[in-house]
């Protein structure tokens, strides 16, 4: 127990260290307060992006440096700020305190706790704006980040350190893919002893508070909150906080990156982020460009996404994988913000409403979706089963359109059509049910090798579910072999055929 | 009114470092209400730039005023009494504030210990 003598001794030692030199302050006076933007005269020595403090303790960030004045965005409640109030320099750039205690917590972009639990002790101050790691510090993406979603892990694989965009209209399951990916990282902790735990950060930008609450509840139910941090700037928060939210998220991610950890960060969504920035820029009287966005709207997202990185061993070996989400209108991926972000990221997962409406969920358009990292982010096992799947699926879709006209088809074509239907069924997956890789491999391998050809299409889903249960109870050794990540050799292939045929004997159609 | 034009008008209003009544009157007559408001704001800023405010806990002594005048030979000095400073003085030069008083020192110490 700390005694009062010890406390006094500590204070005295701090007194000795007190710097008694004359201190000067550079101050300003409030001239105008418009829509959360404060115009201040003075502050001639303030820096861009610096934190400033008002008389009553409210904080702001400098966003414009004009000849005779400075424009500041408010970060706190500012209704009491009036003309003539004094503003002082904070003499530090905007930062967020980050520590391991943030895991499982919900914070706002300034680090204020939102979940009603005790305050977090002061962590390391991580700057919101930071230059991304250089070329020399990086290494190519070579470790998979498994989403647990068959369609993605097989055809659009994501690696640790990659930026993969999730793009589509509202209500098609963009957030669902991100949440399933977060939930799937829990399985890694249990099964993959050699694979590092991936810490997850979910950044909610401009969303409804009820939606954020639902997501947090779901993560708690799936026991995913233990390794997840939620940074929330909801629709009722000022545009300034919505603008800062993604940068706060990646600043926290960099805290873990510096420790050599792997991090997954989801930005949900960058469309609202662009809207918030447009609002701020218009109030700051910056020149408006296309669609009234400011001229540096590309830089807004490029500098954010460049901070997703895979560092080499000399720099800790950690990674930040980014899953930005963009909402399109009427499926238009050629609009301004979508094209900007597509050109920045290392691939996109394109969700289509047509597919969603006919029951294909996740509604991923395999033709328009791509992962520029590709096979480097897949294990040998997955690569061996999913190698030609994308092409096969595309061919099936072409054939299916052709077959609608009822013309006579040869046997091979009919077989390909039937197999394609079953492959489409296998790629469907319920929400909140990410699968470990061995089960994904078994499903895809079975359908590609014709083992489901005699199963009616309407029974494929049930067949797959029961096959998984069978494998998990009766074929644990085979699952362990598949979990090693090696290419499926002849011996393993024979074991797989035997196991599936064994299961089929007991399967009732 | 364009900022550059406003600055030029403000500069023209001063003769030998002091505000010239005739010039100000001539300029003011040519401006509309909004422009006049901007012009007055510009004059105030210009005057403030040339003025040093010295806040003291008590009335200044002659020795002190001589020393401060030596520090700022070309500026207009305005002395104000601010008892809350307790001891010492505070010098405000534009947007730079120099705290040479007990109140500011105690405040800084309080913040330092609080950190």
Q: pLDDT by residue (tens digit) across A71-101?
A: 999 888 778 888 999 999 988 899 999 999 9
With beta carbons under 8 A apart, name residues in chain B contacting A41. Answer: 45, 95
Interatomic CA distance for residues A154 and A349, integer angstroms:
13
What is the CB-side half-sphere exposure of residue A341 using CA atoms within 13 A?
30
The 10s digit of each residue's pLDDT in A283-325 is: 998 999 999 999 999 999 999 999 999 999 999 999 999 999 9
Q: What is the DSSP letter of A227?
A: G
pLDDT for res A21 = 60
pLDDT digits (tens, 9 = 90+) for B8-62: 888 888 887 788 888 888 888 888 888 888 888 888 888 888 889 999 888 888 8
Grade residue A232 by pLDDT with cuts at 50, 70 and 90. very high
A185-189, A219-223, A457-461: lowest mean pLDDT where? Answer: A185-189
pLDDT at residue A56, rounded to an integer: 81
Q: Which pLDDT score, from 0 to 100, does residue A507 have?
A: 87
* A390 belongs to the catalytic site: no
B101 pLDDT band (50/70/90 cuts)?
confident
A14: closest CA of chain B, how far (Å): 7
Contact B96 A24 (CB under 8 A): yes
What pLDDT does residue A189 have?
54
Q: Is residue A428 within 8 Å of A360, Cβ to Cβ?
A: yes
Delineate the domains of chain A, giving CATH numbers in brackets. 26-93 (2.40.30.20), 97-378 (3.40.50.300), 384-506 (1.20.150.20)
ipTM of the complex: 0.77
List the catalytic residue out of A130, A218, A372, A462: A372
Q: Whole-number mean pLDDT of chain A?
A: 91
Beta bridge partners of B52: B77, B93
Candidates A248, A220, A229, A217; CA nearest to A101 is A229
Q: Which residue of A has its CA nearest to B94?
A: A42
- Determine the residue of chain B that is closest to A29 in CA distance: B95
Name the average pLDDT for chain B.
85
Per-residue pLDDT tens digits for A406-441: 667 788 888 888 899 999 999 999 999 999 999 999
What's the pLDDT at A22? 63
> In chain A, which among 56-115 make CB contacts under 8 A with chain B?
67-68
Most B-contacting residue of A19, A23, A89 (CB-CB within 10 A), to test interface: A23
Q: What is the pLDDT of residue A171?
A: 95
**CB pair distance less than 8 Å for A22 and B96:** no
Rounded CA-CA distance A496/A384 in Å is 14
- Work out the number of other CB atoms within 10 angstroms of the CB of residue B11: 10
For residue A67, the chain B residue with the least C-alpha distance is B3
Nearest neighbour of B97 by CB, restricted to A11, A15, A25: A25
Q: Which residues of A74-90 are buried (b: 16+ CB within 10 A; e: fewer)?
A: bbbebeebeeebebbbb
CB contact under 8 A, B99 and A41: no
Q: Assess A122–B contact: CB distance below 8 Å, yes or no.
A: no
Instruction: Compute the average pLDDT of residues A498-505.
Output: 93
């Amino acid at each position: 127990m700390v005694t009062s003598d010890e406390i006094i001794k500590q204070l005295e030692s701090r007194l000795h260290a007190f710097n008694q030199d004359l201190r000067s302050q550079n101050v300003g006076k409030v001239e105008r307060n418009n829509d959360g933007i404060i115009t201040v005269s003075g502050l001639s020595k303030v820096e861009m992006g610096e934190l400033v403090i008002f008389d009553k303790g409210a904080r702001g960030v400098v966003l414009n440096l004009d000849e005779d004045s400075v424009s500041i965005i408010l970060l706190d409640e500012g209704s009491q700020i009036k003309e003539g109030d004094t503003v002082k320099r904070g003499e530090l750039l905007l930062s967020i305190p980050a520590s391991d205690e943030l895991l499982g917590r919900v914070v706002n972009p300034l680090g204020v706790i939102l979940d009603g639990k005790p305050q977090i002790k002061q962590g390391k101050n991580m700057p919101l704006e930071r230059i991304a790691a250089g070329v020399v510090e990086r290494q190519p993406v070579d470790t998979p980040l498994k989403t647990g979603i068959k369609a993605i892990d097989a055809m659009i694989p994501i690696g640790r350190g990659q930026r993969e965009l999730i793009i589509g209209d509202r209500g098609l399951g963009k957030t669902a893919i991100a949440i399933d990916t977060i939930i799937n990282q829990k399985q890694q902790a249990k099964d993959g002893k050699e694979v590092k735990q991936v810490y997850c950060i979910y950044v909610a930008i401009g969303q409804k508070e009820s939606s954020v609450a639902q997501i947090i509840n779901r993560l708690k139910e799936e026991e995913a909150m233990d390794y997840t941090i939620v940074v929330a700037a909801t629709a009722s928060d000022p545009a300034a906080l919505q603008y800062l939210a993604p940068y706060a998220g990646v600043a926290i991610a960099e805290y873990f990156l510096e420790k050599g950890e792997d991090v997954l960060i989801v930005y949900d969504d960058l469309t609202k982020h662009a809207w918030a920035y447009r609002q701020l820029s218009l109030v700051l009287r910056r020149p408006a460009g296309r669609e009234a966005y400011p001229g540096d709207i590309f830089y807004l997202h490029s500098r954010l996404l460049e901070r997703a990185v895979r560092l080499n061993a000399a720099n800790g070996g950690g990674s930040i994988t980014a899953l930005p989400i963009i909402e399109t209108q009427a499926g238009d991926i050629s609009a301004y913000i979508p094209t900007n972000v597509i050109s920045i990221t290392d691939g996109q997962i394109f969700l289509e409403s047509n597919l969603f409406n006919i029951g294909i969920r996740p509604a991923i358009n395999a033709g328009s979706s791509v992962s520029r990292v590709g096979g480097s982010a897949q294990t040998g096992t997955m690569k061996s089963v999913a190698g030609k799947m994308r092409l096969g699926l595309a061919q099936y879709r072409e054939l299916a359109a052709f077959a609608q006209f009822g013309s006579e088809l040869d046997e091979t074509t009919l077989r390909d059509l039937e197999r394609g239907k079953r492959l489409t069924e296998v790629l469907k997956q319920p929400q909140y049910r990410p699968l470990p890789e061995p089960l994904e491999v078994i499903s895809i391998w079975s359908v590609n090798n014709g083992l489901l050809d005699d199963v009616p299409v309407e029974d494929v889903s049930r067949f797959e579910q029961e096959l998984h249960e069978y494998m998990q109870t009766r074929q644990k050794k085979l699952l362990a072999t598949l979990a090693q990540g090696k290419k499926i050799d002849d011996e393993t292939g024979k074991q797989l055929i035997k196991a599936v045929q064994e299961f089929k004997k007991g399967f009732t159609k | 009114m364009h900022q550059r034009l406003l600055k030029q008008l403000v500069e023209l209003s001063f003769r030998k470092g002091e505000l010239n009544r005739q010039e100000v009157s001539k300029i003011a007559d040519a401006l509309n209400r909004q422009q006049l408001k901007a012009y007055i704001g510009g004059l105030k800023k210009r005057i403030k730039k040339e003025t040093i405010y010295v806040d003291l806990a008590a009335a200044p002594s002659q020795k002190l005023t001589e020393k401060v005048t030596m520090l700022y030979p070309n500026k207009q000095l305005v002395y104000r009494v601010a008892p809350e400073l307790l001891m010492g003085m505070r010098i405000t030069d534009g947007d730079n504030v120099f705290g040479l008083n007990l109140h500011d020192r105690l405040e800084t110490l309080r913040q330092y210990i609080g950190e």
